[in-house]
Amino acid sequence: MQRFTFAGRTCVITGAASGIGAALALNLAKRRAVLDLVDKDGAGLDRVAGMARELGAGDVCAYPVDLSDGGDRRDLAAEIASRHGGADLLINNAGVTLTGTFEQNSSADIDWLLEINLHAVVRLTKAFLPQLLARPGSHVINMSSLFGLIAPPGQVAYATSKYAVRGFTEALRHELAPRGVGVTVVHPGGIRTNIAANARVSGLDPDGEQAAQARRFAEAALTMPPEEAARQIVAAIQARRPRLVITPAAKAGDWLARLTPTRYWAISERFARRRNLT
């Protein structure tokens, strides 16, 4: 499969108002891509779209869409096809997280997370698939996570969604490879985004000190700038890589889970305790 080129190609990015999505939009704008940006944050979308235009994007459209509403997204796909002729690149980047144990998580909160992290990925891919199949050399990027490689306590809902995205993406890649569509699953870990700050909180007062402490702990692990993550993702798209693991923490987690699939979390906890004592 030939390398992916971005100039003049139509790129759909979800979660584009901040974090990795915004960084991807600006990276691709410099490459003269045509951008269709999707996020529920309309003001943030407008800000990123304006910056992308200044950087030289071929054309930029912003679509304020709440991916938690259960829509099948065929209307969005039709609008983009009408405006830009169809998608060459679909980046399913939007995601949310939920704190608390499975016992503490409400069914409503779990459904909310799965709708955004998993069902929206499936529905968007389904809606855009006819366009991707009709555009030679098209590509799909689905964002899994470090927690699509390992599954820590307190992350049952999130890990469920990200393991599912991983399986969906790998099976989809095997189906679409003979038809000339590239598919990549991305496993980031520790990217400096707003996902921890915007997490829903279960079992704690969302405005209380315990919830704030949980958010601070999560944010402390987010060290890599989203611009660096975007650079690596763009390189993976260009090279048609089937899988990308970002950050040393994610690579270490991947290696440990392969080495000892049933004991990796106990080993990780021992390592963390020793590091805190030094």
pLDDT value for 276? 56
Cα 169 from chain centre? 12
Report whether 37 contacts 60 (CB < 8 A): yes
pLDDT value for 203? 59
pLDDT value for 105? 94
pTM for the whole thing? 0.89
Please, which residues bridge with residue 14 across strands?
A: 38
Q: Tens digit of pLDDT per residue, the chain (278 long)? A: 789 999 999 999 999 999 999 999 999 999 999 999 999 999 999 999 999 999 999 999 999 999 999 999 999 999 999 999 999 999 999 999 998 899 999 999 999 999 999 999 999 999 999 999 999 899 999 999 999 999 999 999 999 999 999 999 999 999 999 999 999 999 998 765 555 455 556 755 455 444 444 444 444 455 678 999 999 999 999 999 999 999 888 899 999 999 999 998 998 888 777 655 43
Report whether 114 contacts 63 (CB < 8 A): no
* Residue 276 token pair: 């805190």
User: 116: which DSSP letter?
Assistant: I
Class of residue 153 by CB neighbours under 10 A (exposed 0-12, middle 13-18, buried 19+): exposed
Please, which residues bridge with residue 92 across strands?
A: 142
Strands 59-64 and 89-92: unpaired
Q: Which residues are catalytic?
A: 158
- Which runs of consecutive H residues, i.e. helices, occur in 178-245? 209-220, 226-239
pLDDT value for 213? 45
Closest CA to 219 of 247, 244, 199: 199
Delineate the domains of the chain, giving CATH numbers in brackets.
Answer: 10-247 (3.40.50.720)
- The Cα 105–Cα 241 span in angstroms is 36
pLDDT value for 200? 56
